[in-house]
Amino acid sequence: MLKAIGLQKVYHQGEVAQEVIKNLSLEIKGGEFVSFVGPSGSGKSTVLNMLGCLDTPTKGDIWINDTAITTMSRTQRAHFRGENIGFIFQSFNLIPVLSVYENIEYPLIMVQNLPEHERQKRIMHLLEAVGMVEHKDKTPDKISGGQMQRVAIARALVGQPKVVFADEPTANLDSKTAHMILDLMKEIQRKYQTTFVFATHDEKIVANVDRLITLIDGEIVEDKRMRP
């Protein structure tokens, strides 16, 4: 489903070069529930951004479903991302002038151009699943951080993407809501064979993944299968 070979990411500040990711290679199968773990600064978010077509590696190649990502133009990557990838950000990235409902609907209009009845069906199902039906007409400034995270998760899932990248998706959620969200993700994994790739410190996610990949200083030091 996803393959990366020889990824390197170098950031430059003036004449100083910082190598954040060092010759990283991995394969992730379709339908896997995978998490990157490691200390802050180990490169987890950087890897997710490269695999999710949000950032380009300095060196190396990435394939998603046999499609070469690193040879695409920025416009091609954006189109591919919209049709195939869901992304859950730590900072939510909700559009402040849109309601909760409209924020979830936005990718369906902009990328997938689904008819209104299909959009409504998907959105209401996810609003119910994340417990946000009664807040659907509110703008992001009228809801809490935890509620914004629920909306961001629903938005990432509404397009039924082939792969979802989630950067600390439960960081702003209480324990009960975090378990509810994890159950929803597992349900979608089973129903659609969606691949989930996390970067997290959350033990609740770690306890539920199929595979745990440990990063330290931009390198994979352990790749452990947690269940068959």
Q: What string of DSSP letters covers 30-56?
A: TT-EEEEE-STTSSHHHHHHHHTTSS-
Quick: pLDDT tens for 120-155.
999 999 999 888 999 999 999 999 888 998 899 899
Strand order of the sheet with strand 16-28? 16-28, 2-13, 59-64, 67-68
The number of distinct structural domains making up the chain is: 1
Would residue 84 count as lying in a domain? yes
Spatial neighbors of 217 by CB under 8 A, at least 6 apart, are 22, 42, 43
Task: Please give the pLDDT value at position 199.
Answer: 93
Query: Vertex 35, ends 60 and 217: CA angle to 5°?
Result: 55
CA distances from 190 to 135, 149, 185, 214, 219 (A): 28, 22, 9, 25, 30
Confidence (pTM):
0.88
Task: Please give the pLDDT value at position 182.
Answer: 87
Structure tokens belonging to residue 202: 């959350």
Average pLDDT, the chain: 90
Task: Please give the pLDDT value at position 139.
Answer: 96
Would residue 85 count as lying in a domain? yes
Say which CATH number the domain at 198 has. 3.40.50.300
Domain containing 43: what range?
A: 28-55+74-225
Task: Please give the pLDDT value at position 204.
Answer: 87
Would residue 206 count as lying in a domain? yes
Would residue 117 count as lying in a domain? yes
Helix ranges restricted to H, the chain: 44-51, 74-84, 100-107, 116-129, 145-158, 175-192, 203-206
Q: d(Cα 43, Cα 20) in Å, to the nearest integer?
A: 6
Strand order of the sheet with strand 195-199? 85-88, 163-167, 195-199, 33-37, 211-216, 219-225
> Bigger pLDDT: 114 or 63?
63
Structure tokens belonging to residue 96: 């402040």
127-143 burial string, b = 16+ CB within 10 Å, else e? bebbebeebbeebbeeb
Would residue 10 count as lying in a domain? no
Task: Please give the pLDDT value at position 68.
Answer: 94
Would residue 4 count as lying in a domain? no
Would residue 170 count as lying in a domain? yes
Quick: pLDDT tens for 166-175.
998 888 788 8
Would residue 172 count as lying in a domain? yes
pLDDT confidence band for 49 (50 / 70 / 90): very high
